[in-house]
Structure 1
Amino acid sequence: MPDGFLDVHGRPRRIVATIRERHRAVQELRATGRSLRGISRDLDLDYYSVRRYARTANVDELLVKVTQRRTKLDDYKPYIYQRFTEGCHNARQLFREVRDQGFPGERTTVSRYVRLLREGMVTTPPLPALPKPRRAPRWILTHPERLRPDEAVGTKEIRAACPEHDATVDHVRTFAGLMHEHHGEGLPAWIARVDQEALPHLGQFANGLLHDLDAVTTGLSSPWSSGEVEGQVTRVKLLKRAGYGRAELDLLRTRILLRT
């Protein structure tokens, strides 16, 4: 059984047993033809939870999502593991050290992890913590020269760890170059290269551009945009709302024309 399925005493975690039991019950009722809402009432479970159990054939997929969520300690586990292998087995001392590095959690969290180390339940060095879901896209969309040193290192690590992510970074930065340098003529070649990769979300975006390729190419090639028009429309809407119920069309027209 994977480490994430066990508690600090080496016993199966209660949530693991609960998920297994609920998944078994939902699958059995579903096999009898019971509707999802009926199962929800029978088991006193949220409808969307029942739907998730019904759609997932392998319960381990659910368990991995639940048991491998990020925790506050993930960023500090490699350091604790290194200090433990160097001979520091004092949980209080290790807590003080990671707290000085910015760890925001409680001492008991560190103590539980140290207990796993002492009992030999963690036998391999923990992998570097993955960046938060919102952080990696920001790194991708930021110009490489504007990334902080730690962000540049993080981007390099996740590119090395995932070939699909590495390819995505290359394609996104190439597209950014087309926009920045107004090289709309290079868009068809970019779409063709993305089409060759097994990147569903980026491929969907690239294929969507084909529906209005001429307009998108013109937009990427020209320094002009509709930004000024959109700004004026927003200004007019603001004036209209400010005068709602108090001004007629003549006054609104005057305010639009005279307001700088």
Structure 2
Amino acid sequence: MTYRTVKQFADAASPEELFTGQWQNRPSVLDDYKPYLDDRWSEGYTNAWKLWEEIVPLGYQGSCQRVRASLHDKRTSPRPVTARPPSPRAVAGWILRHPDTLTESERLQLKTVRAHCAEVDAPTGHVRSFAAMLTERQSERLPDWLDAVRQDHPPSLHSLAAGIDRGRDAVIAGLTLHWNTGVVEGHVNRIKMLKRQMFGRAGFALLRKRVLMA
């Protein structure tokens, strides 16, 4: 062992520095299989033994230790930090809320989702168009809206459009007239709540009094 080699070992600050040298740039029997290993690594397969078993039928004649050494750098190198994708619940909330109520961050995230997912982009436009039709009472736009939904490829709103079409006269009346069944529905919900509270606790007479006096 030469003095130069001894000094290199003595000056090394970490074990990794001992593996630097001219031999690193030499061709390796693993070079032809590194693209395959990179693809499998990106897919989440990190077991060196399993990857070695996969490349042996492809013609690899080296040892498993060489594969393990090649994967060592991937395990120790820092991975790029990527933003966590929004949850489906969050995306649905952004779509259903008025665009003016979204923060700048939420607006940008929704724009990114719509740009990368056609199954979200098309229904978002339909939902917002329908919301504007409701708030502005534009019943004359309903037939065109139904046709646009039926012609769109993602079928997520097709069942909704079919249901609206079956009760089109009632929906148009709701979009045109100022009367609604909101008060009645409120009383129905109140009675259902009282029934759930009294279930198994009292008879019909007490339930009747609560419904009438509440």
TM class by shorter chain equals 0.5 to 0.7
Gaps of 5+ in 2: 1-38, 52-70
Match of 1:115 in 2: 74
Q: Secondary structure at the match of 1:6?
A: coil
> Aligned runs of 1:1-150 on 2, under 5 Å?
2=40, 3-7=42-46, 9=48, 11-12=50-51, 115-116=74-75, 118=77, 129-150=84-105
Q: C-alpha separation between the residues in 1 aligned to 2:43 and 2:158?
A: 34
Match of 1:27 in 2: none
Residues 216 and 230 (structure 1), Cα distance of their counterparts in 2 relative to 1, 3 Å cut: same
Residue identity matched to 1:6: Y
Deviations 1:189-248 (A, max 9, x none): 101111221011122321232121111222233333322112212333444553866455
Match of 2:163 in 1: 208
Q: Does 1:242 align with 2:179?
A: no
Q: Does 1:231 align with 2:190?
A: no
Identity among equivalent positions (%) equals 35
Match of 1:217 in 2: 172
Residues 139 and 11 (structure 1), Cα distance of their counterparts in 2 relative to 1, 3 Å cut: farther
For residue 146 of structure 1, report the CA deviation from its aligned partner: 0.6
Matched pairs, number: 156
Kept after mapping to 1: 8 A contact 2:198/2:207: no
Q: Secondary structure at the match of 1:186?
A: helix
Q: C-alpha separation between the residues in 2 aligned to 1:225 and 1:255?
A: 26
Kept after mapping to 2: 8 A contact 1:195/1:203: yes
Structure 2-normalised TM-score? Answer: 0.58
Higher Rg of the two aligned structures: 2
Kept after mapping to 2: 8 A contact 1:182/1:223: no
Match of 1:167 in 2: 122
Kept after mapping to 1: 8 A contact 2:119/2:154: yes
Structure 1-normalised TM-score? Answer: 0.49
Deviations 1:51-74 (A, max 9, x none): xxxxxxxxxxxxxxxxxxxxxxxx
Q: C-alpha separation between the residues in 1 aligned to 2:76 and 2:125?
A: 40
